[in-house]
A = this chain, B = another copy of it.
């Protein structure tokens, strides 16, 4: 039976893009995963989460196992609001929506703000899963280049001027990862942050700030766009995926109450009471403020180790920038096709993510690739870089 006639036009349009997770290849056993944006194994509080789950059940019995009403789960928003305040983001309960990681947050924002008529502005390159989600709602995505200071605001503004002059659609939403961007590791400078907020006001768009890596700074922590937002135009996405563990699926949206209301319409009761309760118990015993200090130090060492290996092994045709935080280093390779090279790299024993997956526009990023220094151990990291260097 052909089911196509049951699929609305917008769904058929979405299905024309790559399937979700097309950028994750099947890995041969023992392959070194420089592809994985996962936390380091030793930094995942696995036993602590077991303890937190036990504490939750000892204090609340069956309560967290129902749909709602667990005191611990209800405490989670306050724990997050407190951490946001420490980062200069003033938010109240009606500004916050807990989500199943950044992924649900992105989906809810897209669901409430994007249809086939909306133009979405993104960084090029940008987070491939965000592109996947936007593609579920629109094919009108336009990307703007990134340099050492993050999104090139000049290029963005020039295009806005051109669009206004030519009566072309102005983006309704700018998606940016201003701090330690996935995949380039770059950070939008303070001056550019101010200009983005001014442009949002002048051209009447909203800014979707994905702050998944903002806590993981190796030098002075950047100020979130949301902390500088006087106009209510910034929608801020946060997540425990990088600072606690992705498998818990805890993220959040901070926005104006009217927007939070719209997002919650599509979230319905898609919370996770048990996990939310257990995570709250865990955070009460190990506050984020203390935890991030440990993480920053650990991931800085990992970055340094990868940079050292890159300097040692990579040929001259490969270049990169030093990220000041986050999980990633972005390599650019003269005259390379990193997607075509991947099968050979996997066979050799090292995985990376080809650059093309981080672009909306086909063919862009063909000479680039993303490496993660976050997950594999030091020895594998060095070995992986050496193997990859041999191929390049």
Chain A interface (Cβ < 8 Å from any Cβ of B)? 1, 3, 6-11, 14-15, 19-21, 36, 38-39, 41-42, 44, 46-47, 49-50, 53-54, 57, 61-62, 64-67, 70, 100-101, 103-104, 107, 111-115, 117-118, 129, 132-133, 136, 172-173, 206, 231-233, 245-249, 256, 258-259, 261-262, 264-275
Contact = CB atoms under 8 A, between A and B. Distances in A.
A213 B134 CA distance: 35
A3 B112 CA distance: 11
A272 B247 CA distance: 6
A270 B232 contact: no
* Max count, chain B CB within 10 A of own CB: residue among A118, A129, A206, A249: A249
B49 A53 contact: yes
A114 B70 contact: no
Contacts of A21: 269
A57 B48 CA distance: 10
Nearest to A62: B44
Q: How many copies does the complex hold?
A: 2
Contacts of A268: 20, 103, 107, 129, 132-133
A115 B39 CA distance: 39
A312 to B, nearest CB: 28
A36 to B, nearest CB: 8
A368 to B, nearest CB: 22
Given A8-B114, A11-B262, A14-B265, A256 B1 contact: yes
A272 B259 contact: no
B54 A10 contact: no
Contacts of A10: 115
Contacts of A14: 265-266
Contact of A20 (B1, B57, B264): B264
B49 A50 contact: no
A7 to B, nearest CB: 6
A342 B115 CA distance: 39
Nearest to A5: B204
What 4 pairs across the A-B complex have the smallest Cβ distances? A8-B115, A65-B245, A247-B273, A44-B62
A173 B36 CA distance: 40
A66 B247 contact: yes
Contacts of A57: 46-47, 49-50
A264 B11 CA distance: 12
Nearest to A267: B20
Given A7-B112, A66-B245, A269-B129, A19 B274 contact: no
A172 B6 contact: yes
A65 B247 contact: yes
Given A46-B62, A247-B65, A15 B256 contact: no
Nearest to A70: B247
Contacts of A53: 49-50, 53
A103 B67 CA distance: 11
Given A54-B50, A266-B136, A246 B41 contact: no
Nearest to A118: B8
A267 B261 CA distance: 21
